Structure 1
Amino acid sequence: MRNNKLLYSTPEKGLDMTAYAHELAKQIDTTKNYSIIGVSLGGMLATEMADFLHPEKVIVISSAKNRKEFPGRYRFQKAIPVHRLVPGFVIKIGTRILQPIVEPDRNKDKETFKSMLKSKNSVFLKRTTTMILTWKRTSNNKSIMHIHGDADKTLPPRFVHFDYLVEDGSHMMVLTRGDLISQLINQILKE
């Protein structure tokens, strides 16, 4: 099995989650057996891809498989779309300030998280935020396997239909609990 990573280009303005998934899927070699694994936004995109690519397995981690798995604040932000009025650089600054509050696990490896946020493009953040908040999907392929953390504050587990719940797993658990997540992924891929 290959280990390919998708290169996330900045989506065109107005592109929705489904169209962006189709755009990114062009990078996937579907001539051989493959599985898709996505984290956070990547899990939402993997959910979309499951409909038209039909991989062997789809695993989402610290994500939502449809908008029904979003907490109320996402629905509020969709109803009152302040994010559309705010410039991308303000969203980036807000993320740097709010993320440690929402996901305190981020403090376990501050340099990695600072580097990740610094490298995020403001336009990418603004457009993907809009994409997430306007995501229309209300159901998903039932074969998708979902790994979620019991301490995820970004997407609280009480809203999510997961297959594996990781104790003390935050939204950042792929970095903070990487060994355990790798074990779970390998177990799912062998099934």
Structure 2
Amino acid sequence: MSNNHIYILSGLGVDQRVFSKIDFEGLHVTYIDWISPFPKESISEYAKRMSLQIMDDKPILVGLSFGGMMAMEIAKIIEVQKIVLLASAKNDRELPFLYRIIGTLKLNRIIPNALLKQHNIIVNYFFGISSREDKLMLKKILLDTDPIFLGWAINQILNWRNKEIPAPVIHIHGDKDRIIPTTKIKPTYLIENAGHFMTMTHAKEIEMLLKRVI
């Protein structure tokens, strides 16, 4: 049994249900809950408040998607043993350049937050899901997501300017990820035919890798 304490940050618009197919038996796992952002709060200020949920010295942070970016920010504030990124990015250079353009032009502000919660065929395409079970799971999660948090988090992603790698990083990514494509990413492990929803669609592969690297 591992003595390391692992803190997991779920992705944007999703919660710990996306890890429901992964068996963490034998590992000390705590899920960090998203909190409501303050108006105009920066990602670094938010990360300071999120880090208050961490009660152990030198934890391992596992971050999915936006949770991975948040893990990078938290690791600048507290000392961590390592960061495991799932379908995420280590710095802003790994994100599509289009995101920076949208953020700079503030085009995301035009879209109502409630509209971002809509589940449709386009969302399924970008998340890389096809099974009825996964579509239903994503639909339920989006319905439960706070639209204010969603709008704030999307703005943080589009305007993220991280250059620092504050701790050792293990990066697990799917080669069919359409939200954060592999064009600019050099992952430690590349999972074949996996998209952005890979903790659900490729749970066993992720589980084996997590147990190996943790």
Q: What TM-score do the two structures reach when normalised by structure 2?
A: 0.81
Runs of 4+ that moved beyond 6 A = none
Larger strand proportion, structure 1 or 2?
2
How far apart are 1:142 and its partner, in Å? 6.0
In 1, distance between residues paired with 2:110 and 2:181?
Answer: 27
In 2, distance between residues paired with 1:120 and 1:106?
Answer: 19
Coordinate RMSD, CA, aligned = 1.6
- Which of the numbers 80, 85, 102 marks the counterpart of 2:110? 85
Q: Which runs of 5+ in 1 are unaligned?
A: none
Q: Which residue number in structure 1 is paired with residue 46 of structure 2? A: 20
Describe the SS at the equivalent of 1:78.
helix
How far apart are 1:151 and its partner, in Å? 0.5
- Which of the numbers 134, 144, 154 marks the counterpart of 2:159? 134
Deviations 1:89-140 (A, max 9, x none): 12223x645312323x322221111111111111111010111111121232
The one-letter code sitting in structure 2 at the alignment partner of 1:111 is L
In 2, distance between residues paired with 1:19 and 1:107?
Answer: 37
In 2, distance between residues paired with 1:167 and 1:107?
Answer: 16
Q: Which residue number in structure 1 is paired with residue 80 of structure 2? A: 55
The one-letter code sitting in structure 1 at the alignment partner of 2:135 is K
In 2, distance between residues paired with 1:147 and 1:141?
Answer: 18
The answer to whether 1:42 aligns with 2:42 is no
Asked if structure 2 preserves the Cα contact closer than 8 Å seen for 1:16 and 1:135, the reply is no
In 1, distance between residues paired with 2:211 and 2:125?
Answer: 32
- Which of the numbers 78, 99, 104 marks the counterpart of 1:74? 99
Q: Cα–Cα, structure 1 residues 20 and 98, in superposed 2: closer, same or farther, change >3 Å?
A: farther
The one-letter code sitting in structure 1 at the alignment partner of 2:142 is L
In 1, distance between residues paired with 2:167 and 2:194?
Answer: 23
Q: Which residue number in structure 1 is paired with residue 139 of structure 2? A: 114
Aligned-residue sequence identity (percent) comes to 27
Q: Which residue number in structure 2 is paired with residue 187 of structure 1? A: 212
Larger helix proportion, structure 1 or 2?
1
Q: Cα–Cα, structure 1 residues 21 and 96, in superposed 2: closer, same or farther, change >3 Å?
A: farther
Asked if structure 2 preserves the Cα contact closer than 8 Å seen for 1:15 and 1:131, the reply is no
Deviations 1:147-166 (A, max 9, x none): 01100000001111211111
Q: Cα–Cα, structure 1 residues 35 and 25, in superposed 2: closer, same or farther, change >3 Å?
A: same
Asked if structure 2 preserves the Cα contact closer than 8 Å seen for 1:17 and 1:132, the reply is no
Number of aligned residue pairs: give it.
186
Q: Which runs of 5+ in 2 are unaligned?
A: 6-27
